[in-house]
C-alpha cells in the first residue's frame, strides 16, 4: 500500500513503488492535494484512535482514576508509517469526539499525543532503523511526560477543588509513575507490532 503524494514519499512503504514506474497511477490524484488513498488511510487511523481512546484499562492501582488507553500506540504507528503530518492529524482528530464530554481533558490528551508521536516520527524519519525507532519513542515519551504533568497541573484544579501545589505534590508518587508505565507500554507494544504492520504496508 502506498500513498502517492510527495510529502509521504519519504516512507519506506511508498518509496518502493514510487521509485519504479509501475505505480499504475492514473495521475488523477496527483495535483498537489492528498490522494484518495492517503485520505482513506488517515480516516481509518483516526477511527482507530477514536475507538481505542474509549478503552479504559486500570493499570495503576494507586490511582484508580487514571486509566490507560492504547490510542497513543495508533498515533505512534501513524507517525512511523506515514510521517509527522499523519501523526499530527491522527493525534488531533482522533480525540475530537471527547471534546463534547471532557473539553479540557481533550485538549490535554491531544497535547500529550502530539508530544509523543510527532517527535518520534521526526526522529524515525531521519534514522530509519530499530535504534531510530527506540530513540524516537524515548524522545517522544520524555516530551509527552512533560506535557502530561504540566497539563495535569493546569487541568486537574479545573476539575477538582485542588490547588496547583496540591497537584504538584502528586507528581512524584502518582503522576510520574503512572505516565512512565503508560508510555512504557505504548513504546514496547509499538516496537513489537511495528514490524508486522510495516510488512502489511509494504505489500
Partner 1 sequence: MFRRILYVSIYRYKKGPDSPVNDTDSPIVALDDVRFSYDDGASWAVDGVGLTIRAGERIAVVGANGSGKSTLGRIIAALAAPDSGTVTLFGRVVFDGEAHADRYREARHDIGAVFQNPEDQIVTTIVDDDVAFGPENLGVPHERIGERVDTALRQVDMDGFGVADPTRMSGGQQQRVAIAGMLAMRPRMLVLDEPTAMLDESGRAEIMTVLDDLHAQGTTIVHITHSAAEAVAADRVIVMRDGRIAEDAKNDDENGHASGTNPLSRLSPTAPPDTRGSQENDIVSSSFDSPWRGFAEDARPSSPGSPWRGFATAAGIFPSLGSPWQGELSGESRTEGVDTPHTDVAPAIRDTATPSPIVTMSHVSFAYDHDHPVLRDVNLTIDAGETVAIMGRNGGGKSTLTRLLCALETPSGGDITVDGIAVARSPGRRCKPPSKRDRRRLRGVVGYVMQHPERQLFAETVAEDVAYGPGNLGLSGDELDARVRQTLDALHIGHLADRSPFGLSGGQQRMVAIAGILACRPRILIMDEPTSSLDVDAAARIHRLLADLKAQGVTVIIVTHDEAEAALADRVVELRDGEITNRNAQSETNPLSRLTPTAPPEPRGSQRNNTVSSFSGSPWQGELSDERRTEGVEPPDAGSRSDNASFVARLDPRVKMVLTLVLMFTAFAIGTPVQLGVAAVAVGAILAASRLNPVAVLHSVRLFLALFVVMSALNVFFVRTGTPLVHLGPVPITDDGVWTAVVYAGRLALVVVLGAVLLLTTTPTRLTDAFEALLRPLRRLGVHTGEIALVMSLALRFIPTLTGETKAIIDAQSARGGSIESGTPLQRLRALTAIIVPVFAGALRHAENLGLALDARCYEGGANRTYYRLLRISWRDGVFAVFCVLYLVVLFAVPLV
Q: Which residues bind partner 1 (CB under 8 A)?
A: 1, 20, 22, 24-31, 33-37, 39-48, 50-51, 65, 70, 73, 77, 89, 93-94, 96-97, 99-104, 158-161, 188-189, 192-193, 195-197, 199-201, 203
Those residues whose C-beta lies under 8 Å from the C-beta of residue 162, and which sit 6 or more positions away, are 156
**Least distance to partner 1 from the beta carbon of 94, Å?**
8
CA angle 14, 18, 21 (to 5 degrees): 145
**Least distance to partner 1 from the beta carbon of 115, Å?**
21
**Residue among 96 and 122 whose Cβ is closer to partner 1:** 96
**Residue among 52 and 143 whose Cβ is closer to partner 1:** 52
Tell me the sheet residues that pair with 58. 67
Task: Give whole-number Cα distances, 75 to 23, 41, 50, 98, in Å.
Answer: 27, 13, 11, 16
> Helix, strand or coil for residue 1?
coil
- The CA distance from 45 to 82, in Å, is 11
Burial of 190 (0-12, 13-18, 19+ CB in 10 A): buried
**Residue among 26 and 129 whose Cβ is closer to partner 1:** 26
Those residues whose C-beta lies under 8 Å from the C-beta of residue 97, and which sit 6 or more positions away, are 50, 53
Contact (Cβ atoms closer than 8 angstroms) between residue 174 and residue 63 = yes
**Least distance to partner 1 from the beta carbon of 76, Å?**
11
Cell numbers for 31? 495535483
**Residue among 146 and 184 whose Cβ is closer to partner 1:** 184
**Residue among 54 and 146 whose Cβ is closer to partner 1:** 54
**Least distance to partner 1 from the beta carbon of 80, Å?**
12
**Least distance to partner 1 from the beta carbon of 85, Å?**
10
**Residue among 22 and 131 whose Cβ is closer to partner 1:** 22
**Least distance to partner 1 from the beta carbon of 110, Å?**
14
Amino acid at each position: 500500500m502506498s500513498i502517492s503524494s510527495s510529502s509521504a514519499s519519504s516512507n519506506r512503504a511508498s518509496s518502493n513503488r514510487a521509485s519504479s514506474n509501475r505505480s499504475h497511477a492514473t495521475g488523477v490524484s496527483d495535483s498537489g492535494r492528498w490522494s484518495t488513498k492517503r485520505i482513506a488511510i488517515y480516516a481509518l487511523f483516526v477511527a482507530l484512535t477514536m475507538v481505542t481512546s474509549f478503552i479504559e484499562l486500570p493499570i495503576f492501582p494507586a490511582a484508580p482514576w487514571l486509566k490507560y488507553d492504547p490510542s497513543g500506540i495508533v498515533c505512534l504507528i501513524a507517525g512511523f508509517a506515514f510521517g509527522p503530518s499523519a501523526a499530527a492529524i491522527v493525534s488531533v482528530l482522533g480525540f475530537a469526539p471527547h471534546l463534547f464530554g471532557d473539553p479540557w481533558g481533550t485538549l490535554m490528551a491531544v497535547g500529550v499525543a502530539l508530544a509523543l508521536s510527532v517527535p518520534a516520527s521526526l526522529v524515525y524519519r531521519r534514522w530509519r532503523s530499530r535504534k531510530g525507532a527506540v530513540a524516537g519513542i524515548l524522545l517522544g515519551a520524555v516530551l509527552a511526560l512533560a506535557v502530561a504533568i504540566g497539563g495535569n497541573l493546569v487541568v486537574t484544579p479545573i476539575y477538582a477543588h485542588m490547588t496547583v501545589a496540591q497537584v504538584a505534590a502528586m507528581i512524584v508518587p502518582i503522576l510520574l509513575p503512572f505516565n512512565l508505565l503508560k508510555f512504557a507500554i505504548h513504546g514496547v507494544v509499538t516496537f513489537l507490532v511495528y514490524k508486522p504492520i510495516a510488512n502489511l504496508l509494504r505489500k
